[in-house]
């Protein structure tokens, strides 16, 4: 049957470019692999906690990037206000810049939402037994994501540079300092010296918005890749098999050719 002219136009405008891109990148097949997956029939809202945590992280990343355009990580005194520059810039974001209060508030409360969702997601996975074979590495990367999330909270708390931020961070640094053997060294590294000084705030700012987010994004990428590869698990009360049959490990299966002397060469 000959195609109508309209179908031909759709072919030209939409499908041909998609094919062109996919032929060169595999992006269309990749998108289908990522999004168009089968899930167990008896999943519920409980399985959306992970996506909710991801959404909270994206909100944090976006609002954080925008706050970084106006925040100044300096403990020097602003001669105009008599207050530290960091604190002055936070005040400006909150009180003067249009809708700044909303973005800062979203970032500030979103941080708590992110951590709460991480814990709820973790509890769901634990209670459903979804961490079991073959999803052990998802649990491990998830725990690392939780650690990174808490580090984000710890480093972000100092940035307003008010009395609460300062003394809470002093206590936090010294808590780390009580760890055996390496504790005092860790504390001195975190404070950039025996006490918090002029280098501390920029260091924590860099940790908060460059180093830890980089690690967090990488871990989230691995975590989501594993979810896509292994699929969503059924709940424990499901009549469907929750796990997978453990496939017999071929002695020289996947690693042949990568590790010398392990077969295949």
Tell me which residues touch another protein (CB under 8 A). 75-77, 84, 167, 170-171, 173-175, 177-178, 180-181, 183-185, 187-189, 191-200
Q: Which of 218, 259 has the CB closer to another protein? A: 259
User: What distance in Å separates the CA atoms of residue 81 and residue 71, rounded to the nearest whole number?
Assistant: 16
User: What distance in Å separates the CA atoms of residue 230 and residue 250, rounded to the nearest whole number?
Assistant: 19
Alpha-carbon torsion, ordered 123, 129, 134, 139, to 10 deg: 20
Q: Which of 42, 265 has the CB closer to another protein? A: 265
Q: Which of 200, 233 has the CB closer to another protein? A: 200
**Exposure string over 199-236, b if 16+ CB within 10 A, otherwise e:** ebbebbbebbbeebbeebeebbeebbebbeeeebbbbe
Closest contact distance (angstroms) between CB of 163 and another protein is 10
Closest contact distance (angstroms) between CB of 146 and another protein is 24
Closest contact distance (angstroms) between CB of 77 and another protein is 6
Closest contact distance (angstroms) between CB of 82 and another protein is 10
User: What distance in Å separates the CA atoms of residue 209 and residue 203, rounded to the nearest whole number?
Assistant: 10
Cis-peptide into 162, omega within 30 deg: no
Closest contact distance (angstroms) between CB of 264 and another protein is 15
Q: Which of 56, 196 has the CB closer to another protein? A: 196
Q: Which of 215, 230 has the CB closer to another protein? A: 215
Burial of 159 (0-12, 13-18, 19+ CB in 10 A): buried
Closest contact distance (angstroms) between CB of 175 and another protein is 6
Question: Is-contact 137 226, C-beta < 8 A?
Answer: yes
Q: Which of 25, 178 has the CB closer to another protein? A: 178
Closest CA to 114 of 194, 220, 204, 203: 220
């Amino acid at each position: 049957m000959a195609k109508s002219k309209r179908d031909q136009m759709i072919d030209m405008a939409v499908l041909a470019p998609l094919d062109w891109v996919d032929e060169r990148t595999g992006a269309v097949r990749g998108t289908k692999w990522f999004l168009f997956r089968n899930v167990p029939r008896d999943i519920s809202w409980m399985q959306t906690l992970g996506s909710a945590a991801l959404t909270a992280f994206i909100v944090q990343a976006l609002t954080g990037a925008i706050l970084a355009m106006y925040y100044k990580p300096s403990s020097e005194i602003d001669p105009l206000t008599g207050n530290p520059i960091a604190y002055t810039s936070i005040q400006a974001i909150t009180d003067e810049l249009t809708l700044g209060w909303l973005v800062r508030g979203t970032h500030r409360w979103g941080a708590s939402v992110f951590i709460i969702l991480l814990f709820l997601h973790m509890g769901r996975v634990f209670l459903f037994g979804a961490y079991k074979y073959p999803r052990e590495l998802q649990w491990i990367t998830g725990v690392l994501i939780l650690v990174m999330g808490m580090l984000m909270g710890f480093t972000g708390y100092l940035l307003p540079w008010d009395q609460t931020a300062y003394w809470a961070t002093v206590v936090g640094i010294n808590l780390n300092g009580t760890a055996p053997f390496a504790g005092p060294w860790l504390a001195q590294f975190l404070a950039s010296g025996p006490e918090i000084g002029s280098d501390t705030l920029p260091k924590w700012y860099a940790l908060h918005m460059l180093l830890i987010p980089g690690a967090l994004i990488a871990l989230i990428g691995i975590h989501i890749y594993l979810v896509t590869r292994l699929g969503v698990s059924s709940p424990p009360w499901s009549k469907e098999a929750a796990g997978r049959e453990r496939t017999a490990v071929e002695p020289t299966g996947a690693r042949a050719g990568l590790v010398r002397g392990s077969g295949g060469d």
